[in-house]
Structure 1
């Protein structure tokens, strides 16, 4: 509308121009021109400008009524200050170069200088800019911006309390006993057998699907941690198709649990093979956090052997934002809350290792049909830092991403295929 305080529709200024009242002879503040060359799917592209308070002051798109590959010109009028220009692509592949040669540029009308430009990105790209003599992101403005990894710290600013520092909370190969882990009962046992152990001779055997088919940690004081990574090895035996086991978490001392990840026979693993997993968990942890592995099989002859369980924690002076670990109802515990994929998704899972990583991140995924696949890595600000496209055959696939030039921190990797997406987080350390 012409009274919503936002430049939108066909307005040439905020609530003026186009079908609204004239803008009084043009922009009396800071004029800027946005030029977008659309790709072959203009109905996927939209943009917005947000001020320092995260309020949208200008927006446009999508452009489904425009021809493929056409050019759109938008005129903006902005008061003195710093802004974020954000461009979005609904499919997650940007506007260049898989399906057309799209691009965008935002130019300062007074100086002709480029404020933002690009075209090759993922689901979105954000560029901070300033007009009217305002200064850009600083290390003392109380906002996480620029290349900061926390509020006024990280990137080109001082480290965030030494940066996101990973440390070992616990490691157990069960050679000397249970450690912080607890025996669930008759369907859980510490057993000897080198074929089942990842290292040494001992591992933890879970079977069946009873209340005792669990191995559970003591209460862990993780209140100071912003992220936890659990690495472990497992060896399944005689697990029937779709029988699975879960990794669960509790933040209330075991009163209730949330299922974080599940692994199912025939989908995520085959029997009599060793697998190594690395699970990154972000959220709000407590002083009474517990983790547990739970078997969900059908009898006493269905086994999964767990070994070499390592729990790592990341502490940071500026805690990274993350969703709380949500506690599910008992009947919902069988739902995968991480790596959840719809039945029609062409990629049925995505595994990452090692995680944390220093040099090369390895990926394993299952592709249900031959087709184009894109791997996109973004930082916590949503900025694309890596992109790779290739054709993947149907079945199990492997890929690798060189992270040796990425700054230490938390990243997200997005696997895109046939309009579906899987996203997982990983940590780069040095």
Structure 2
């Protein structure tokens, strides 16, 4: 007899969902988490970051308010107030996650767990437990390069703990995390410089959207150093950092943040004791059912490096639990996954980009709408939005939707249903516009 039907290592989005669903199917479940219940998304990722983004938006909203008749005599930002309020909300959510597991009678071990065999787990306290099935959901962490002085750098993990806002901040990388924090720091009043080893931001996103974001970001005062890399970081006597660069002039900053990708958390898990195979990027290799090469050991979420998004991890955990304990086997579909960059303004997309569609389908048609949101017109803000539909010429099917502008992610969630359902451009054309809205542009493109 095993101690548990399921033992989960890692209480992030995927691990919590798998634990809860498996327990609801009647399984005896335990989960081990060495840090905080909730994982990257809740504790140091999408949730607190989105709260910072909301806070950053007020910088422009307060400026715009005057044109709408509001008298705002003083605009003053207090970083400590926002930081502490965000931390309090994270604490609240962590409690709710723990409460949810407890309500489903999932036993929680607040300590590190490692594999000592295919069915055996050892806890940091020294206790050893057995389980019929083991699920690894340990997520990923920010990558830090090996260069002199890297100990003086921070990642997205540490941003939420800063004692004060840096006056000058350099961000390494140009992916979605880098661009999001570039917008946040810029709106809070920091001088932001983005350093990228290539000349392209947001690789993999639609080219028109990323070009538009670059134009708007530069107009807002964010600086870019392309085709540049770091040689070393030197701490100066006054506390500032000298960034010795290759490809551009050296930079003096108060903080440097690396957002150059994420790596799976697999070190020290004892995977070798159970014979679990890893891929070339250090990820745990799994099949479509999230099963490793060891039949009773599974993995979901970022540790598998399939698609590093919270909703994907949640769905993988749910599919695993239903399949293994609920008598309802199903697998996750990875096509038409909506994505967003919560930059200023945000980008959202689903399906194929124009370049991807041309490579895959050959003949495609695109429809675009380039406009100023009504709010920006009255506020005197010249920032323009851009929406795009990518259509398969042979079938009239809308295979991609991409947009940049206010509330783009909120609009795209509904629009993503159309791409997933494989609706045609004619279906968009037959849909009545909702006026006056920005989203009506989706059905007015001809």
TM-score (norm 1): 0.22
Normalized per residue, the structure richer in helix is 2
- Larger RCO: 1 or 2 (CA < 8 Å, sep 6+): 2
Structure 2-normalised TM-score? 0.21
Judging by fraction of residues, say which structure has more strand. Answer: 1
